Amino acid sequence: MKKAPILLTLCSLILVLSSCTTQLAKLERSNEYGELFNGAVAFYEKGQYSKAKVLFERIQPFYRGSEYSEKIRYYWAYCEYYSGLYQLAAYQFGVFYGTYGRSPLAEEAQFMEAYSLYLDSPGPDLEQSSSESAVVAMQTFLNRYPASQYYQEANDIIDELQVRFETKAYQTAKLYYRLSTGLSFRNYLEAALTTFQSFKSDYPDSKYNEELMFLSVETSFKLADNSIFSLKEERFDRTLDLYKDFIERFPVSEYSDKAKDYFERSTNELNKLKTN
């Protein structure tokens, strides 16, 4: 007995979808641009963004330079945005504020360009070029509209993305460290050290520096210990310097004992080298 209402609902849904499809097909055959504009807005307001976009895209060249052109570009950008096509949305919002820079909607459009790039950016496990583009766009927006209603949100997004960059850099550093402990570890020791030092330079206040500065000491010792004779002294000296940097920055650390062990072993190796 319960199948009848379900069947009626499905039939009603099919009729609605068929009606919308028929309506779009009818509008696409029309050359009445006012009717096309109104139809596009109607689709937009119903949340049928792909249909609205088809019509806005068709009529945009006809209305170029008119009072409708700005509205069409604005709607079009949001059609892309609400469809989850954030790269295309960012492009359309960029075209909007680039074309209509004096519009009351230009501020919103420039923010939405940056926000769309932010939504398109991946997590820290993936390549971060989209995130970098989002930060640049947000900063450009803040420079242009320092008193904007979106100012705090834009700043918060920049902070979030900076944390994402930091996390990505940390993950990269740990990847090099893991490679430096594998079967072909000699090939990665110098690269791991360089990555640790770059992280410290780029993120001097990071919570990860304690761990990575200790790993610098450990990796430097391993590199020195596995070096040819002519390079050992220089590299053990570097290990001592890295230990001093670590202990000065983190005098009380969970890694203190291990770091001190590498310091003492490096000192012993240097003493042996100097007596030979």
Predicted confidence at residue 124, as pLDDT, reads 83
Predicted confidence at residue 1, as pLDDT, reads 44
Average pLDDT over residues 1-27: 52
Cβ–Cβ under 8 Å, residues 71 and 59 = no
> Which of the pair, 148 or 29, is modelled with greater confidence?
148
> Which of the pair, 27 or 79, is modelled with greater confidence?
79
pLDDT band at 14 (very low <50, low <70, confident <90, very high): very low
Cβ–Cβ under 8 Å, residues 244 and 274 = no
Average pLDDT over residues 217-230: 95
* Secondary-structure class of domain 180-276 per CATH: mainly alpha
Lowest mean pLDDT among 26-35, 136-145, 197-206: 26-35
Average pLDDT, the chain: 90
Tokens found for residue 136: 């640049």
Which one-letter DSSP state was computed for residue 147?
A: T
In order, the DSSP letters of 238-260 are: HHHHHHHHHHHH-SS-TTHHHHH
Lowest mean pLDDT among 19-33, 91-105, 193-207, 257-271: 19-33
Lowest mean pLDDT among 12-16, 69-73, 101-105, 201-205: 12-16
Average pLDDT over residues 148-168: 97
**Which residue is listed with tokens 């199948």?**
3
Q: What percent of the chain has pLDDT over 90?
A: 79
Average pLDDT over residues 143-156: 98
How many Å apart are CA 64 and CA 112, to the nearest integer? 22
Q: Is the model's pLDDT at 8 over the cut of 50?
A: no
Q: Is the model's pLDDT at 148 over the cut of 80?
A: yes
Q: Is the model's pLDDT at 223 over the cut of 80?
A: yes
Predicted confidence at residue 125, as pLDDT, reads 81
Predicted confidence at residue 182, as pLDDT, reads 80
| Single-letter residue type at 272 | K
Cβ–Cβ under 8 Å, residues 92 and 80 = yes
Lowest mean pLDDT among 24-33, 61-70, 116-125, 236-245: 24-33
Q: Is the pTM of this model over 0.85?
A: no
